[in-house]
Amino acid sequence: MRFDLLLTSSAYVIQAQSNDFPRRRLYQALAVPEIATAAAIYHDSGLWLNGETGVQRDVFVIAFDPNNRVSMSPRSTRRPPS
């Protein structure tokens, strides 16, 4: 992931216990002139089932809007045109 600043809930303990973060905080951050973009990132745990073997695994899932430039994929690491 690529970011300069990460905001978390004031009740944040660890990533598995991060608590809710009000979306309005993103909009407050965007009101600061030095902030160019803000994006929500969602995460949770889940179960993954291998359909061939029937084996289950605990997985950690991270989700975000792929149109927001928060990942390190080649598409998102290109600098925007000047």
> What does the pLDDT look like over 8-37, one tens digit per residue?
777 777 766 667 778 888 889 889 998 888
For the chain, give every domain's residue range: 15-77
Q: Is 75 exposed, middle or buried (0-12, 13-18, 19+ CB in 10 A)?
A: exposed
Share of the chain above pLDDT 70, in %: 76
Q: How confident is the model at residue 49 (pLDDT cuts 50, 70, 90)?
A: very high
Helix (H, G, I), strand (E, B), or coil: what is residue 47? strand
pTM of the model: 0.58
Q: Is the pLDDT score of 75 beyond 70?
A: no
Phi, psi (5° rounding) for residue 45? -105, 160
Q: How confident is the model at residue 52 (pLDDT cuts 50, 70, 90)?
A: very high
Beta-ladder partners of 47? 58
% helix, strand, coil for the chain, step of 5? 20, 20, 60
Tokens representing 73 are: 């994929």
